[in-house]
Structure 1
Amino acid sequence: MSDLPIGDYAALSDRHSVALVSRDGSIDWFCRPAFDSPSLFGRLLDADAGHWTIAPDGPYTVERSYIEDTMALRTVFTCENGTVEVRDALLLGEHGDPRDMGREAPRALARIVECTAGEVDVRTVFKARPEYGMVHPILSVVPGGVTAVGGPLRMMVTSTADMEISHDGAIAAATLAEGQRLHFLSQAVTLADPEPRPWSAERIESAFADTIAAWRNWSDRHRQDLGRHTDIAHRSRLVLESLRYQPTGAIVAAPTTSLPEEIGGVRNWDYRYAWVRDASFTVQALADSGCYAEAGEFFRYLSQTAAHYHATHPLQIMFGIHGHHDLTERELDHLSGWRNSRPVRVGNAAWRQSQLDVYGELLDAAWRVRDAFTEPAPPMRRFLMQVAQAAADQWGDKDNGIWEARGEPRHYTYSKAMCWVALDRAVRLAPQLGLEEEAVGWAEQRDRVRAAVEDEGWNPRVGAFTASFGSEDLDASVLMLPLVGFLPGTDERIRSTVDLIADRLVDDRGLVRRYLTSGGDGLPGGEGSFLLCSFWLVQALTAVEEADRAEDLFDRVCSYANDVGLLSEEVDGATGELLGNFPQAFSHIGLINAASALHGHGRAD
């Protein structure tokens, strides 16, 4: 099993996949050829599932940072006799139009090692284990490096150091003096692709420079002034772009699977898919950041993937990054899991759930990118009409809720409120879509949903909008009511709800839980505090004009980002460790939207 804290990792991306690199210079998670492919390096989930380590051969201290305005990493190892720097990047190809970044990615991971002072002994171990550790490839030394054959991939490791084969994998050791460099490059291609060839050191250097230039070109176009929050929000923007699958525009919730919500627990899910639920929040974060093309691409991916939808059935809540629908869940029994957190799962059974909130999130996203389809094509028009009609027809049904509870369906307040959002945005979009006649019925249903939420979602005994109709349970999702324009922040019921959540759902570290787990969600065990919900509370405090409290909470939540600015899904209330899949799009989306709200750019329309 892996013992390193989740926060020990940094992420590299070429917009096709993500590699996670530890502070010790070990790539412990990397899937090829895409985010949702089986892992090539999987030590994150099992000690024998593969890694690629480059580090000094002896004691050292570490400092690391992203190269400015990029997702390329610089790790500096300081040893007794000198200092060595390792620069890592998933190569993007030549930089051009930022909207095409990664389109020509060579699917190669480059690692450049340089001694910057004194003399340092450096060692590398390349131990590939395709298919989630099930395949032990055959390694061969060839001119320029090492090849690895086995399973569905063919691999080539370029090395300017002499490599040899051992029981541990491909190994190289060298002593570097100041100014000397080593170059490494890993390629993994399918059996149908041309056989990979070694690269020259000059080609690796040039491609690395192109990658830096591509990220900076993108950053120059998308940096937004958010006052003192500018830098941390921009890092989150880069993370979000890293999780956007270039061929389709899909955004994965996270590039990992089965990092747990509780150490040793069973709440371990595969997040390498795109959720409809995330659409509204994601599009808001992108659009408010000036990423209009990116927001439009993501919405087109969602609408095209679900274009066949018929309103007589619930809309599927999540899809694969290539648009596939079947995400059947299975367990990988041969993997021990991060810190023995089992089972390790691939696929996600939640794809079969009914979640009525997705109608609101999708139509709110459509409203935000409405300028992108002034004259929508017939399939888009039909799809949006079907989604609106589904909200009108199904809002009175029970569902599994935003948190994908695996217990009995309920009348979740948030789900109803988001059906109101769906109908509200559909009415606003109707003139543009030529659906004015249908909008009359949608407006009537919108008013019925509002009445139901205000009558049954509000619990006067508790003094708050609660998790579901008739319950007394608090749920952080109702913090969204003022943020989507259902009620203004000046409404006393909203003020009371925000205060109660800030009092009863906040842990000892001042972070917000989604809800209090007590078995009602159909799962054993508990979970950490949820970072997205903490950012929602920042926005809600801003909406109720508690700016100082909002700023303080924002700073507190951001303090849990690791040394390179990355956030996972949750924080362990006892230890302060990051928990859950990593880096988590939802957390970084929440950070961007909260920073925007604090700076006055957020909007609840």
Structure 2
Amino acid sequence: MSTRPIGDYAMLSDCRSAALVTSDGSIDWLCLPRFDSPAVFGRLLDDDAGSWAIHPTGPAEVTRRYIEDTLVVETTFQTRDGTLVLQDALALGRGERGHELGRSSPGLLLRRLTCTQGRVPVDIVYAPRPEFGLVRPLMHPVPGGLIARGGTDVLTLSSPVEFRVNGSIAHAAHTLRAGQSLSLALQAGPAWGPEPPRRTSRAIAHRIHDTVRGWRSWSRTHADYQGPWQRQVNHSGRVLRAMTYAPTGAIVAAVTTSLPESIGGERNWDYRYTWIRDASFTLHALNTATCEEEETAFFTFLSRASATQVDAEPDLQIMYGIGGERDLSERSLPHLRGWRGSAPVRVGNDAWRQHQLDVYGELLDAAHRTYRDIGPFDPLTRSLLVGAAETAAHRWQEPDQSLWEIRGPSMHFTHSKLMCWVALDRAINLASTLGATSRTADWIRIRNEIHAAILTYGWNEQLGAFTQTFGGTHLDAAALMMPLVGFLPPDEPRIRSTVQAVATHLTDARGLVHRYRSADGLPGEEGTFLLCTFWLAHALALTGLDTEARRTFETVASHANDVGLLSEEADTATGEAIGNFPQALSHIGLINAARAIRDALR
């Protein structure tokens, strides 16, 4: 089974697919041609599921970084006899600059080694395993590289050095001296089509340079945030861009599947999809990180993917595939042992079938955040948004599964009622834009009913906090959303008391926040949730506790790895990264909390 720490990985992206590379030069995760495609390299989830390792033959001291303003990774190996620099990238489209999509070579993985001092013997081990490790392809050398066939794909490895093939593993050894370089590239194509072309070392070096320029071009137009943690905010904006599926504007929640919320447990989900739940958080973060084009594209994707008659079955889905797909049926891959034995490994996510009332509020809030930027809504979008408001008005009293997708019985979750209030509040503000002024009086009446119900049934006087469910006794970090969405003023005593209750009772010794501590129908306990800790920092800033807000922010931001990537959770025992990685919501939380603290200080 795979035991590599999750925090040891850096992400590569071409805004269509993603790869994860270890600090010592092994590509352990690569899905082609899309984020949600089957993995070609899957060692992240099982040692036998494929990888591509490049490293010095002997021991070395290792440092790495993203080349400034890019997602091109540069790893430096300092050996006894010399220095080796490895650059890794997923190629952006040829000539791609800013938001202009270049001529694309989807899924072109580039690797270039340069010896800058002395001499360094290098080992290269190439073991592709398409379809999450099910396929052990047939490989044979060809001039300028290797061809691997098996399953739906043909893989072309471009290399100036010869490989020895042993079954479905290829090995090469080569020594580089000061000033010498070695360039390799991997590209997949359909098995029934022509083999992807082999590329020269010069062409590979040029595409790496072009990819660096492409990322820097984008970064130059998205670095306007001024304030504390500017570097982290700008980097997180770049990470969100990297997790955007450029053809549609969809943003994946993470680029991985089945990295567990508890080590050895079964809380293992596929996050390579787009959640409506994340929409308003995401759009606020994109606005802060000055990603206006991504903001517009993301809302356009949401409105088109979710277009349906939402006042009739089926309900508005909580999530969609990155191409707008609706059927995301879940299945297990029993041949994979999972990260540190955390099984089952899943692809697909059956949460798409869940009934969650909060999505109506998140969709309307997303529309409210973007309508000034994207211009008048088209008739179909207006119809969708009015339907979402009507559904929230009609169904707010129903139980559901909550934003945390609890796989137990439906309950009356306070946060779900809150987001129905948000749906109507935003719809009222948008009524003239939506051509729905005739509905305003009813929407105001029902909005006030929801408000009164939350104050009556969601508040627990003994706890001094709003609770997870109506009439309940458990806390939920989702209550921190109340001041963030404007349900009550931040200085209202019940808001201050709720924020303090979360800080006191849901925060562990490391200063990180649990989502909740109540039973959720699954065995085992999850770690602390980085997004919820950023929410706490955000709420503390809104309530005027600037010092506490900064301290909380610094605590959670320190859990980024050496290249600034944040996981979903942190293990309560060790503090190490767990959960799917990198996690978009964690970077979104960082951006939004940094802005809130900056504004509070001003």
With the length of structure 2 as denominator, give the TM-score of the two structures.
0.98
Aligned to 2:576: 577
Q: Look up the equivalent residue of 2:525 and give its one-letter code.
A: G
Cα distance in 2 for residues equivalent to 1:309 and 1:190: 37
Cα distance in 1 for residues equivalent to 2:111 and 2:583: 25
> Is 1:165 the counterpart of 2:165 in the alignment?
yes
**C-alpha deviation, 1:377, in angstroms:** 1.5
Aligned to 2:6: 6
> Is 1:72 the counterpart of 2:72 in the alignment?
yes
SS in 2 for 1:271: coil
**C-alpha deviation, 1:376, in angstroms:** 2.0
**C-alpha deviation, 1:602, in angstroms:** 11
SS in 2 for 1:4: coil
**C-alpha deviation, 1:106, in angstroms:** 4.1
Alpha carbons 2:138, 2:167 under 8 Å: kept: no
Structural mapping, 1:498-509, within 5 Å? 498-509=499-510
Cα distance in 1 for residues equivalent to 2:341 and 2:361: 38
Cα distance in 1 for residues equivalent to 2:511 and 2:526: 15
Alpha carbons 1:263, 1:341 under 8 Å: kept: yes
Q: Look up the equivalent residue of 1:188 and give its one-letter code.
A: A
Aligned to 1:568: 567
Cα distance in 2 for residues equivalent to 1:508 and 1:306: 41
> Is 1:243 the counterpart of 2:243 in the alignment?
yes
Alpha carbons 1:103, 1:246 under 8 Å: kept: no
> Is 1:295 the counterpart of 2:295 in the alignment?
yes
**C-alpha deviation, 1:192, in angstroms:** 5.2
**C-alpha deviation, 1:573, in angstroms:** 1.3
Relative to structure 1, the CA distance from residue 281 to residue 453 in structure 2 (aligned partners, 3 Å threshold; closer, same or farther) is same
**C-alpha deviation, 1:97, in angstroms:** 4.7
SS in 2 for 1:548: helix
**C-alpha deviation, 1:443, in angstroms:** 1.3
Structural mapping, 1:128-167, within 5 Å? 128-167=128-167
Aligned to 2:182: 182
Query: Unaligned 5+ residue runs, structure 1?
Result: none
Aligned to 2:536: 537
Cα distance in 2 for residues equivalent to 1:70 and 1:499: 39
**Cα deviation digits, residues 28-77 of structure 1 (max 9, x gap):** 01111101011000000011100000000111111000000000000001
Relative to structure 1, the CA distance from residue 577 to residue 103 in structure 2 (aligned partners, 3 Å threshold; closer, same or farther) is farther
Cα distance in 1 for residues equivalent to 2:193 and 2:286: 34
Cα distance in 1 for residues equivalent to 2:80 and 2:385: 64
**C-alpha deviation, 1:312, in angstroms:** 2.6
Alpha carbons 1:315, 1:358 under 8 Å: kept: yes
Superposition RMSD in Å? 1.4
Aligned to 1:514: 515
**C-alpha deviation, 1:415, in angstroms:** 0.7
Relative to structure 1, the CA distance from residue 101 to residue 538 in structure 2 (aligned partners, 3 Å threshold; closer, same or farther) is farther
Cα distance in 2 for residues equivalent to 1:55 and 1:258: 27
Aligned to 2:490: 489
> Is 1:559 the counterpart of 2:550 in the alignment?
no
SS in 1 for 2:109: strand
SS in 1 for 2:65: strand
**C-alpha deviation, 1:94, in angstroms:** 2.9
Alpha carbons 2:56, 2:122 under 8 Å: kept: yes
With the length of structure 1 as denominator, give the TM-score of the two structures.
0.98
Aligned to 2:17: 17
Cα distance in 2 for residues equivalent to 1:318 and 1:105: 28
SS in 1 for 2:131: coil
Query: Unaligned 5+ residue runs, structure 2?
Result: none
**Cα deviation digits, residues 264-293 of structure 1 (max 9, x gap):** 011000000000100000011001222111
Aligned to 1:83: 83
**C-alpha deviation, 1:133, in angstroms:** 0.2
SS in 2 for 1:227: coil
**Cα deviation digits, residues 488-522 of structure 1 (max 9, x gap):** 110000000011110000011110000014xx211
Relative to structure 1, the CA distance from residue 425 to residue 115 in structure 2 (aligned partners, 3 Å threshold; closer, same or farther) is same
Relative to structure 1, the CA distance from residue 136 to residue 102 in structure 2 (aligned partners, 3 Å threshold; closer, same or farther) is farther
**C-alpha deviation, 1:348, in angstroms:** 0.6
Cα distance in 2 for residues equivalent to 1:285 and 1:601: 17
**Cα deviation digits, residues 197-217 of structure 1 (max 9, x gap):** 111111111111111111001
Alpha carbons 2:10, 2:563 under 8 Å: kept: yes
Q: Look up the equivalent residue of 2:533 and give its one-letter code.
A: S
Count of aligned pairs: 601
Aligned to 1:37: 37
**C-alpha deviation, 1:378, in angstroms:** 1.2
Q: Look up the equivalent residue of 2:221 and give its one-letter code.
A: R
**Cα deviation digits, residues 86-114 of structure 1 (max 9, x gap):** 00000002344512346624430000001
Cα distance in 1 for residues equivalent to 2:450 and 2:54: 58
Alpha carbons 2:542, 2:600 under 8 Å: kept: no
Aligned to 1:61: 61
Q: Look up the equivalent residue of 1:596 and give its one-letter code.
A: R
SS in 2 for 1:564: coil
Cα distance in 2 for residues equivalent to 1:418 and 1:433: 19
**Cα deviation digits, residues 337-396 of structure 1 (max 9, x gap):** 000000101111111101111111111000011124433211111111111111101111
Aligned to 2:414: 413
SS in 1 for 2:54: strand
User: Percent identity between the aligned chains?
Assistant: 52
Structural mapping, 1:454-473, within 5 Å? 454-473=455-474
Alpha carbons 1:374, 1:432 under 8 Å: kept: no
Aligned to 2:375: 374
Q: Look up the equivalent residue of 2:242 and give its one-letter code.
A: S
Alpha carbons 1:593, 1:602 under 8 Å: kept: no
